[in-house]
Structure 1
Amino acid sequence: MPTIVVCVKHVPDTWSERTLNPDFTLHREGVDEVIDEINEYAVEQALQLKEANPDYRVVALTMGTPRAEEALRKALAMGCDDAAILTDDALAGSDVLGTSWALNSAINALGEDVALVVTGNASSDGSMGAVPGILAEYRAVPALTNLTKVAIEGTTITGTREDTHGEYELSAQLPAVVSVTEKSGKPRFPNFKGIMAAKKKEIRTLSLAETGATAEQVGLAHAATAVRSADTRPERTQGTITRGASAPTELVDFLAERGLI
């Protein structure tokens, strides 16, 4: 049976105060964490694809500490068939390349006939938006990113990408990787039956060794990128308000001083 793998992430709640550890990794201990909102859109699209193609099944996958099972429970409650978590101390501090490699290895280790991988376009804690493209490169399959619509027609995946210039229709042969935006469709609310079933569902746990990846390929110490410094975002200050007959001239001068006209 062909499988859709949807990647989800357990992230600090956007309403929580975010701070960095001395090594510039995000501080997560003692912080309220939830499934990343964009991943709910990814789960929704994966489920809609399954509903339109009943021969498919949907497996939710995450990488993180055991606490990340909470994100998988939400995905299961929404309607995913199964879930798996890749958890290993060696993964801590992985950069985008290490994370993508670990996820690719975990997908391979699932032993599924993976036709499609669905992700959000960018996580709220990292906001890099690079994992879908890198994951597709590792898997040697097409990447259709930042989609607002997605559909499977036979062995073809189609989608619509929207930007400031308009809409673009994309297509590729399966297997593939797609990422979706918050315009792709409002996520469904889990019903009571789904929530209760998700609580009882067994979640498969994978270690790094079980995926075939090694500690030298992931983790902070082996990251290909590094954060050298970080500054606290300054408090937002009140802007300048101009009124009266002089307002147009002051506005033009303001823009000209900044090279905006």
Structure 2
Amino acid sequence: MNILVLLAGVADIRFPLHPLSLADGRIEEGGNARRLLSPFDEAALELALKLRDARPDTRIEVLVLGGANAENLLRAVAAFRPDALRRLDLFPACPWDASMTAQQIATLLATQGTAPDLLLIGREFGDLDEGSLPVRLASQLGHPLFALAQHAEWAGEQVRLLRERGAREEWLVLEAPLLASVTNDKRNKLRHPLMKNVMEAKRMSFDAVGAPAPASTTLALSELMPARASERGGDCRLLAGTPAQQAKELLVWLTEQGVVA
């Protein structure tokens, strides 16, 4: 089993927000920016580690999004001893443009011949993603998407994934390459690394891999605008007043339409 984990990190709320500036429509961060793994990042990494715990022949590769404080993020992940760990540099880096970012990552994986059996990614990829990147990346890769995964385990020779919908559990057995977006859950809280691994990670150096995109496809941050509000049309009508008044008004309308209780 080959697992690829994509991690981005988010701003560390324990410190004042670092200054941001725009250059050519892209975000530039100061060198003092502080980032850490988000709960969704941690959950995706923990699922991979649990699968490897149960089957030591499972191979985990991790790509950590480059940018400010990326070196510290890499060292934090290295303490969990993935089989491969690299920094992912996007050229240009426009995480608010999920379509382009997904294309960059998918092209990189295809170019390098990386074909994991299971790709794990937090349900939000960094501070600037609203949750659409996993969907677009799955589409770019041609993989099925299992959204909001909460747990993973071995079932014989196959992996199965779990998510919950209210009181219902949904299980999926992994039978082909698949992308799973992971949400945080008490079952996938990231463990603490061994201190000896933390100390060893401080002495490590890391390779980087670049994922370019045609400049013509770049969506500059300065080009983003609020969505235009649409006026309601047709026969739609909002009911006003208290719930009792709304119910009475609805009953009158149903009676006018010839509805008989």
Question: The TM-score by the shorter chain falls in which range?
Answer: 0.7 to 0.9
Paired residue total: 232
Q: Is the CA contact 1:155–1:173 (under 8 Å) kept in the aligned structure 2?
A: no
Alignment of 1:103-252 (within 5 A): 103-123=105-125, 125-153=127-155, 156-164=158-166, 166-183=168-185, 184-208=187-211, 213-216=212-215, 219-221=218-220, 227-229=224-226
Q: Is the CA contact 1:118–1:178 (under 8 Å) kept in the aligned structure 2?
A: yes
- Say yes or no: does 1:79 pair with 2:81: yes
TM-score by length of structure 2 reads 0.73
Shift of 1:198: 1.9
Residue type at the aligned position of 1:196: M
Alignment of 1:26-41 (within 5 A): 28-29=29-30, 30-41=32-43
Q: Deviations over 1:77-128 (max 9, x none)?
A: 1231221122245224551111112222333345445211111122461351
Residue type at the aligned position of 2:215: E
Q: Deviations over 1:3-23 (max 9, x none)?
A: 211111132113444887569
When residues 135 and 88 of structure 1 are mapped into structure 2, their CA distance, relative to the original with a 3 A threshold, is: closer
Q: Is the CA contact 2:146–2:181 (under 8 Å) kept in the aligned structure 1?
A: yes
When residues 173 and 226 of structure 1 are mapped into structure 2, their CA distance, relative to the original with a 3 A threshold, is: farther
For residues 259 and 227 of structure 1, the distance between their equivalents in structure 2, rounded to whole angstroms, comes to 39
Shift of 1:154: 6.3
Q: Specify every segment of 5 or more residues in structure 1 that has no aligned partner in the other structure, as ranges.
A: 231-252
Aligned CA-pair RMSD: 3.5
When residues 140 and 88 of structure 1 are mapped into structure 2, their CA distance, relative to the original with a 3 A threshold, is: closer
For residues 141 and 109 of structure 1, the distance between their equivalents in structure 2, rounded to whole angstroms, comes to 17
TM-score by length of structure 1 reads 0.73
Structure 2 equivalent of residue 8 of structure 1: 7
Q: Specify every segment of 5 or more residues in structure 2 that has no aligned partner in the other structure, as ranges.
A: 228-239, 249-261
Instruction: Identify which of 39, 49, 52 aligns with 2:51.
Output: 49
